Amino acid sequence: MCLLLAPARAAGEPGPAAAGHSGSSGGLGAGHTAPQPERVRTPTSGLVTIESDLQRADNRTGVITATGNVRIVYADQRVVATARQAQYFSREGRVILSGDVDIVQGDGHTLRAERVLYDVNSERLLAEPPSGRQVTSRVRIPASRSAETAR
């Protein structure tokens, strides 16, 4: 589901600089480079459990809808999402969570919004706030490698 909160890099996978992001040395001097942030990677397989008051699937449209006290558990990635409604548009590869959306990851990352749209194919997420409020995110930022070695 909405797993963009999970920073991970597969072994041998290029970091952000190799993926077209420019990294600045920030005045660290010759031979030193600024630490690069972990690339966010969204797994696209694994067991997902959906609990809700009602679930329906329409094979004609490819839409799966869960309503009422929706709880989605992606145990492989230690992610739990809750909402009033969840819809998966299988043909478009799109997930929409709506109504008091909370996404919590085992490492402490959280996202709270009224509506979350997630494109599985492009791994892009859009979180919309409740009317007159804001989206809230909590992201644990790892200590830089240079700060860890200086200790």
- Could you report the per-residue pLDDT of 103-148, keeping only the tens digit for each? 998 888 999 999 999 998 898 999 999 999 999 999 888 777 655 5
Q: Quick one: average pLDDT of 57-83?
A: 94
- Domain membership of residue 27 (yes or no) is no
- Domain membership of residue 37 (yes or no) is no
Percent of the chain's residues with pLDDT above 90: 50
Report yes or no on whether pTM surpasses 0.85.
Answer: no
Higher pLDDT, residue 22 or 113? 113
- Domain membership of residue 79 (yes or no) is yes
pLDDT at 7 over 90: no
Confidence of residue 13 (pLDDT cuts 50, 70, 90): very low
Strands 49-51 and 136-138: unpaired
- Domain membership of residue 116 (yes or no) is yes
CA distance 136 to 78: 20
- Domain membership of residue 123 (yes or no) is yes
pLDDT at 40 over 80: no
pLDDT at 8 over 70: no
- Domain membership of residue 1 (yes or no) is no
What is the count of structural domains for the chain? 1
Q: Quick one: average pLDDT of 1-18?
A: 35
Residue 87: give the domain boundaries: 49-141
CA distance 6 to 4: 5
CA distance 116 to 128: 6
Per-residue model confidence (pLDDT) at position 32: 43
- Domain membership of residue 24 (yes or no) is no
- Domain membership of residue 71 (yes or no) is yes
